[in-house]
Amino acid sequence: MVALSEWTGPGVHQALMASADRTLLRGLDGTARSGEEIAHRVGQLAGALLGRGLAGKRIGLWYSNSVAAVEAFLAVEWIGGTRVPLDPDATADEARTTFEAAGVASIIADRTHAALLGDRNRCVEFDTDSQLTSTSVRPVDDAVPGRAHTLFLRGMTEAGLKILPMSYRNWAATMSLNVGLFRAGRYGPPIDADDLLLTVQQLMYGTGLMASFPFLLMGIPQLIVPQFDARIVLAALERFEVTTALMTSTMLPRLTSLARSEGKPKHRLKRLMYGGTTLSLPELQAAMNLFGPVLIQIYGRLEAGWPITLLDQADHEAIARGETHLAKSCGRAVGPPVEFALRAPAPPGDLPKGDLTQTEVCTRSELTIDGFADSDGWCRTGDLAEVDEAGYVYLGGRPDGMINTGYHIYPAEIEKVIRSVDGVADVLVRGEARPTYGHAIVAYIVADDSRSTDDLPNVVTGTLEAKLARHKRPHRLMLVKELPR
């Protein structure tokens, strides 16, 4: 059993104070915070939240990456509350609807997102330059293991808002596992005090679980970029002595393309971690040629654990030597404490056709979110896969229709918005293969007779822009006489 206090509020406080004089968080705007400064500001924000009667409550978080975002995330944990983070690219309408559906008692946001919400009664504005007067408090040391630590919101399905309630126990197990992988050299060379993380993916996604918060617990510095921009990231790699970065599979090819056009980059990278989808062989080869033998692919699922499998640096070197079949793999099972198995998929459904043995990835560990495991503790991921004799896992499709663009997109949410447009008789949204960046989101639309089809695509596009975050909007809109099967 993982010790809860070692990896949550009390453990974080201890780690920050152990690095009291060392700068652990930096922003591109020049902001720099030592461990002691972070602990003080987190404690002040936690004190302000306690003053509002929010101990143990659900609290929404709406931030772009920043030093303040890390502090706000920690403050909710400090008071034994439940974080409910929302993608910074969400629209104001999405934010209000989603936070309401998630039942938050209050919301903490940076200046930009607080202005979009326009709700001063429920929203606490806390930004990097915010000055607090509240007394700094220490974190609670009696967090309930089964209480939700973070509610991950994964969009609307046909059954409603999909909520993944990661408990304090799940969070502690995830921190323990990933800190252990860094220290043991499973994520490239063993971590040391001279390492520096570049945080480019938003904190609410995999980077928080596998890098940003583990680095804080290890007392290792990180530089935070507000959002991914290939030019800014490349400049940061060259200007700062970055050793570690975690990106989505959609980010890495964009970075590689820019770096290739501007000449081989100067960098100190020891680990360039990526996940979301596998990359094509040409994309992998291009990245390895530019950045060297530093790539590590990670596969996981929030409900089942991050990570589940690793395609490590040795595997990428094998690909460079000619074992190109490994480029289609997401690696081998990470091993204890995560048990891995392939089982017949359930419930039965229309499975993808092809050469894959139709089995489903299942895991069992303390990382598994309550409610997503069977009576024996096994969690079904919904990912179909096969495994070869050497233990390499090759993912196939999903019977539930989820679209993987690097983000996990549920078609029902997009279809609901499109159906609300006058002139739309019917719609089908699905993922279709594209050469790079995972799946493309394609919307097939049948028009009725109430509107000219000439302007319907523009009206649909405008509605989508108003209602949905950018990453949920279809890449292509197709007007058709009847929906494809």
Q: Quick: pLDDT tens for 202-241.
A: 999 999 999 999 999 999 999 999 999 999 999 999 899 9
- Per the structure, the count of domains in the chain is 3
Q: Are residues 409 and 384 in the same domain?
A: no
User: Percent of the chain scored above 90 by pLDDT?
Assistant: 63
Is residue 33 domain-resident? yes
Of the candidates 71, 187, 225, 86, the one whose C-alpha atom is nearest the C-alpha of residue 139 is 71
- The mean predicted confidence, pLDDT, of the chain is 89
The predicted model gives 47-69 an average pLDDT of 96
Is residue 187 domain-resident? no
The predicted model gives 52-58 an average pLDDT of 95
Angle at 428 between CA 356 and CA 157, to 5 degrees: 75
pTM of the predicted model, to two decimals?
0.87
Q: Determine the length of the chain.
A: 485
Q: Are residues 357 and 439 in the same domain?
A: no
Q: Are residues 284 and 347 in the same domain?
A: yes
- What local confidence, expressed as pLDDT, does residue 351 receive? 46
Is residue 214 domain-resident? no
CA dihedral 177, 181, 187, 189 (to 10 degrees): 160
Is residue 206 domain-resident? no
Residues near 30 by beta carbon (within 8 Å), at least 6 away in sequence: none
DSSP code per residue over 265-297:
PP---SEEEEESSPPPHHHHHHHHHHH-S-EEE
User: Percent of the chain scored above 70 by pLDDT?
Assistant: 94
Is residue 197 domain-resident? no
CATH of the domain at 442: 3.30.300.30
Q: Are residues 330 and 256 in the same domain?
A: yes
Q: Are residues 395 and 437 in the same domain?
A: no
- What local confidence, expressed as pLDDT, does residue 437 receive? 57
Q: Which residues pair with 33 in a beta bridge?
A: 25
In this prediction, residue 407 has a pLDDT band, given cuts at 50, 70 and 90, of confident
150-165, pLDDT tens digit by residue?
Answer: 998 876 555 566 788 9
Distance CA 195, CA 191 (A): 7
- What local confidence, expressed as pLDDT, does residue 13 receive? 96
SS3 labels along 308-369: EEEECHHHHHHHHCCCHHHHHCCEEECCCCCEEEEECCCCCCCCCCCCCCCEEEEEECCCCC
The predicted model gives 266-271 an average pLDDT of 93
Compare 115 and 416 and report the one with higher pLDDT.
Answer: 115
In this prediction, residue 355 has a pLDDT band, given cuts at 50, 70 and 90, of very low
Residue 405 per-residue DSSP state: S
Tell me which of 366, 383, 400 is where a domain ends: 400
Is residue 196 domain-resident? no
Is residue 191 domain-resident? no
- What local confidence, expressed as pLDDT, does residue 436 receive? 61
CATH of the domain at 381: 3.40.50.12780
Q: Are residues 362 and 237 in the same domain?
A: yes
Tell me which of 169, 196, 214 is where a domain ends: 169
| Weakest-pLDDT range from 115-124, 191-200, 248-257 | 115-124
Q: Are residues 144 and 162 in the same domain?
A: yes
In this prediction, residue 354 has a pLDDT band, given cuts at 50, 70 and 90, of very low
CATH of the domain at 56: 3.40.50.980
Distance CA 307, CA 275 (A): 10
Domain that holds residue 468: 405-479
Q: Are residues 104 and 63 in the same domain?
A: yes
Of the candidates 170, 167, 190, 195, the one whose C-alpha atom is nearest the C-alpha of residue 180 is 190
Q: Are residues 360 and 247 in the same domain?
A: yes
Cβ proximity of 277 and 404 under 8 Å: yes
- What local confidence, expressed as pLDDT, does residue 298 receive? 96
Q: Are residues 145 and 290 in the same domain?
A: no
Query: Is 90 exceeded by the pLDDT of residue 362?
Result: yes
Q: Are residues 413 and 289 in the same domain?
A: no
Mapped onto helix, strand or coil, the DSSP state of residue 136 is: coil
| Weakest-pLDDT range from 3-12, 378-387, 436-445 | 436-445
Query: Is 80 exceeded by the pLDDT of residue 183?
Result: yes
| Beta strands in 158-213, from DSSP E residues, in sequence order | 160-167, 197-199
- What local confidence, expressed as pLDDT, does residue 158 receive? 56
- What local confidence, expressed as pLDDT, does residue 326 receive? 95
CB neighbour class for 300 (10 Å; exposed up to 12, middle 13-18, buried from 19): buried
Q: Are residues 411 and 334 in the same domain?
A: no
- What local confidence, expressed as pLDDT, does residue 353 receive? 45
78-102, pLDDT tens digit by residue?
Answer: 999 999 999 999 989 889 988 998 9
Distance CA 144, CA 124 (A): 25
